[in-house]
Structure 1
Amino acid sequence: MAIPQYIRIKDAVRRRIEQAELRPGDRVPSENQLVAEFGVSRMTARRALLELADEGLLQRTQGLGSFVADLRPLSSISQIRNIAEEIRQRGHVHSCRVLVLNALPAPAELAAHMGLAAGELLYHSVLVHLENALPLQWESRHVTASLAPDYLQQDFSQTTPSAYLSAVAPLAEADQTVEAVLPAPSVADALAMPGDQPCLKITRRTFSHRGVVSLAELLHPGDRYRLGSHIDA
């Protein structure tokens, strides 16, 4: 049985995306261009593009055409979300590697950021969160020990710092900054990425009603993660 023409077009466009001939944001050939290239009707070309858009590979904009969709995970910049839940909501599998879990006296500069006295007890964790076994986030977190006394006893291969801290010191407010940085060699290695490619770095300080709960640095490979939000005018 002959392959329908619209499927031939879909396969050709999909192959160009997979082989990086077309990249996220690139405009794909128009209906008229596909008609000329494949010798099909405009209705057939339109069906191919519509189905690729329905499958999430393309974004169609009225009057402008069809563009390759950006399939990197998109996280809200205006919400504090548990990375594990974020991954599961995409229908993917979250896993975690625990690299560091210890206690230390707070250095003066870090203590100042957390509203503590120098030398006060902090807990420190370094984790790598994976999505479908691919590293997505490197998390270094300092936690006020008095607000989360059982932090070091948690099994962070089964839960997350965010989930535990939300339970024992509910979030009241947070501040965060976002910047592009080059990863340290150890971070690049943990994220399985080249050291000369940028990371998206989020620095986040969270507060309960009793004070600063944690200060976290979250690094994501720039080609695997995005931040965004919806704004109502």
Structure 2
Amino acid sequence: MPGNGYLFVYETLLAKIKQRVLTPGMQLDSEVELARQLSVSRMTVRKALVRLEEEGHIFRRSGIGTFVKAPTPLEAAGQRLEIGIEASLEGNPRPFSLKILAEAQQACARCNCNLRLLSLEELLAGERIDAAFFASLEPEYFPQAVQLARRIPTLLLNRITDLPELSYVAVDYAEATRRIVRRMLGDGDRTVLFVGSAAANFGYAPRMRELGYRQAHDELGVRINEELILPGDVDLCRQLAERMIRLRPDFLFVCYEYLVTYVYAAVESALPRLEKPVYLFCFDDIVDSFSLSRGAVSCGRMPFNDMCGRAIRYLSGRVRKEVPEETIHEIFPMSYVITECPFLI
């Protein structure tokens, strides 16, 4: 039997707790399993657990098991918490991803937290972090996020779900799209060409934005010409130029900023054959990046500062027991940047 009996077990488990191998809320193995792992008797393990419980490192639930205890507010107040966020900086990160990271980092500094950049797999595993912040989680991973939320505070950004275990702060993509497309359509006497449909990408964002597009038409009783809905695929430039010339839409609604380069090329090639200016709206903030030789570019602006600040305050407050142990579901308004478009001003 190793060393000093119960002291060996006590120090081994305490070291794992302090090194955050065992994180707050994590369930310890049973006494029998710990005894087997550490080559000691069950009574030796029990004695070590009693001491850890008396010192406030663990707590027991009768008939359920033994769990790592979260630090008290006074203990946690002096610690820099570790908040994980999924992020990939390989290649060319999209501007909104960098904006989210910058705002989350500033919010962490204000809340005495460290922001740890992790892969999606690492964040879902939830190891050695106090809380998890998912910036763009797809619904297929929601069940894994629910499992994580049962161990540590977890929050989704810009994802709305009915799952009661998951907190979110979000812009309602469908509602934000419905509002602006409704204005574009006027009384139903104008047409809007939608670029970036869910046909090319079955992710949450394109689905919700296309849903809002369809809802705006339904409200006005306007039948949708499906040719006005284009996926953002490799043949985008050719298809868009051809349909603009043939269908002559009053507006272009573009789902993502990364599509605008291709849309811009298609628009400029089609302009000589069009009899009117082109008005383009992008869901992402591109107002300072693009302009058209004939027409105007408008865009949406996400409240990342407010949302990231709220997210980090909630997560750090949950860990430090400063806010109630309950989920939050908060919707933030999106603003619209309108430039020289007579139908939207």
TM range (shorter): 0.3 to 0.5
TM-score, scaled relative to structure 1? 0.38
In terms of fraction of residues, the more helix-rich structure is 2
Instruction: Kindly name which structure, 1 or 2, has the bigger radius of gyration based on alpha carbons.
Output: 2
Q: Which has the higher strand share?
A: 1
